[in-house]
Structure 1
Amino acid sequence: MANDEAAIKSYLAKYKHRDFTTREVMSLIQVYRSLTYRLEVFVFNNGTRKNLLNLEGTIPVTYKGAVYNIPVCIWLMDTHPQNVPLCFVKPTADMTIRVSKYVDSNGKVYLPYLHEWNPNGSNLMKLVQSMIAAFGELPPVYSKPRNEMPMPYPPTFPTTFPHPQYPSQPGPTFMPHVRPTAEMPTYPNFGLPYPHPGTANGSQFPTPANPLPYPTFNYGSSPEVAGGTITEEHIKVSLLSAVEDKLRRRLNEQSQQSQAELETLRRTAQELQEGKMRLEDILARLQKERSDLDKNITILQEKEKELQSAVERLGEQEGVDVDEAVVTTAPLYTQLMNSFAEEATLEDAIYYMGEALRKEVIDLDTFLKQVRTLARRQFTLRALMQKCRQKAQLAC
């Protein structure tokens, strides 16, 4: 048991929900021990190849009081349980697929349980039980007449079976492989014949008293096949089943297309509604900005009138002496202001002394002597301003 779990986990290394899928597979193979697991290459219709887990074997189906082992094959997507598993009936050389509402001519299984697959509530155990119940109502295979030649198998077996897309489930789409002839497609058995009822590898259900390999039955009200020939009634039933299957698929395709178009229209309507809300918000902000702009224009016009009035008043007044206009409130501030003005004057004097030396108006000795004197006075004034600012408790 531990070896099976470790092997399954190694097979499911790239699966999105590895632990959940491992638990489901372990629970299934503990109940249906004839099912075996293996990792095989699955080829999609666009040529993409993936390693997917494949559960194949037999499941016990009760039909008219007798238990039969029906060979099936279940592929698990790497996003299981988000995407529905793909189920197939896998007939052996002595069996033929019986087309019904549950199985098509390619062996693809259609069940209400698959159609209503829910990732949060559906599981493999209930899926197999649904297959058993459906196949007990309409067996998916029947035995070939003894004088009918078995269908030939190709010398090399494909790695996947035909996979038509399941109607309403999301995920990858599969196209059936088309054979160049009109004969019914066959599936390889990988060299492992399925056991008949009562064998050691089969189910543990009781063996019928008069065992048959698989149930034989009539198509509707048609007579038994005699001598391995196919009657017109068989052809009619087969054609009706094919037409029904084709109509069902076309209806599903049209339904999916309509739903996709409806979803596109809904998204477009939602985007238009969101765009309308954004435009209304932008319009409201523009109106508010326009109102603020009108208020600012009014304020600027009033300020402009005030400035014009001030200019007119100043123009009518006489000239003002700068030295008399600037009056300090304390002697300390007067000393600070005079020191600052004299220091700025010395700074300009030193600059122009440098210009005079550059233009050779004065010689170097005169420049050095005058600059030394001015710099000494400038240092004294700066120290005095520092003391005044400290005394006045101003920022230094």
Structure 2
Amino acid sequence: MHLQHQNRYPQSSGVGPQAQQLSPQQAQLYTKLQAALLEFNTASSREMDNLVTVNKQLNDAESRTKAEIQSLRDLHIKIQYNIATLSRCIEQLTAKIEQIRSWPEEPVDEIICGSSVVHNQLFELVAEEIAIEDTIYYLGKALSQDKVELKAYMKHLRNLSREQFMKKALIKKVKAQLGHIE
């Protein structure tokens, strides 16, 4: 039996169809199998190249995604810190507003005004003198921009200067009365 088994599958010493005597049908089948195997190998090679490329793209995308996730985590931490800081500031401001609301209301005129009639007079004289100084400044700007004629400028400047001199003299007199040393 063992001999029959060997005869059914002839052994060849070589490899491929050259070493064996093939019938024309076997040779044709062998050629077709060889072409199909070559086509399969080429397609498999292309598919492997595509899979390698896709794998690289997926790995790159994974790295970018991990970096973006870390960036978002860092941003989240910063936002949480800012929210906590803002919450503390809001609490402090709310407490300060409540404290200010509890203060008694005082008329503005009483806060700004002096403690005596003489102090009030000094306050008003200084305010008027500063207003005259500002008026002279803006009058000079108007002259330099040709919005006021020289004759009108000189007339107003003379009047304002006279008035300013009188205010300064009165301020000096009131300060002397209050005991201020100049």
Bigger fraction of residues in strand: 1
TM range, smaller chain:
0.3 to 0.5
TM-score (structure 2 length as normaliser):
0.47
Q: Which has the higher contact order (CA 8 A, sep 6+)?
A: 2
Structure exhibiting the larger radius of gyration computed from Cα positions? 2
Bigger fraction of residues in helix: 2
